[in-house]
Amino acid sequence: MKRLYLGTNTKMTKNCAETVAYIKVMRKLLGEQQEEMTLFVIPSFTALEGAKKALAGSSILLGAQNMCWEDRGAFTGEISPLMLQEMGVELVEIGHSERRHLFGETDEQINKKILCALRHQMKALLCIGETKEQKQLGLTDRLLEYQLAEGLKGVTCESVSNVWIAYEPVWAIGENGMPPETGHVDERHKQIRSILCSLFGRSGKEIPVLYGGSVNSENAAELISLQEVNGLFVGRSAWKAESFYRIINAVYNSSQNR
Site residues (vs ligand PGA, CB under 6 A): 9, 168, 173-174, 177, 212-215, 233-237
Q: Which residues contact 243 (CB under 8 A, 6 or more apart)?
A: 216, 217, 237
Least Å from the CB of residue 93 to ligand PGA: 9
Apex CA 217: angle with CA 211 and CA 223, to 5°?
A: 35
Least Å from the CB of residue 180 to ligand PGA: 9
Which string of DSSP letters, residue by residue, matches 47-63? GHHHHHHHTTTS--EEE
In angstroms, the CA 213 to CA 75 distance is 31
Query: Please, which residue, 200 or 233, has the CB nearer to ligand PGA?
Result: 233
Query: Please, which residue, 105 or 168, has the CB nearer to ligand PGA?
Result: 168
Query: Please, which residue, 166 or 199, has the CB nearer to ligand PGA?
Result: 166
Least Å from the CB of residue 175 to ligand PGA: 8
Query: Please, which residue, 204 or 235, has the CB nearer to ligand PGA?
Result: 235
**Which among 104, 126, 117 has a CA at the least distance from the CA of 192?**
126
Name the closest residue to ligand PGA (Cβ). 235
In angstroms, the CA 203 to CA 235 distance is 29
Query: Please, which residue, 88 or 177, has the CB nearer to ligand PGA?
Result: 177
Q: Which are the catalytic amino acids? A: 96, 168
**Which among 124, 89, 91 has a CA at the least distance from the CA of 110?**
124
> What are the distances in angstroms from CA 225 to CA 169, 185, 252?
19, 11, 11
> What are the distances in angstroms from CA 198 to CA 127, 164, 250?
19, 16, 33
Least Å from the CB of residue 8 to ligand PGA: 8
Query: Please, which residue, 20 or 220, has the CB nearer to ligand PGA?
Result: 220
Least Å from the CB of residue 57 to ligand PGA: 27
Least Å from the CB of residue 37 to ligand PGA: 18
> What are the distances in angstroms from CA 111 to CA 68, 118, 169, 224?
11, 11, 19, 28
In angstroms, the CA 20 to CA 255 distance is 29
In angstroms, the CA 53 to CA 51 distance is 5
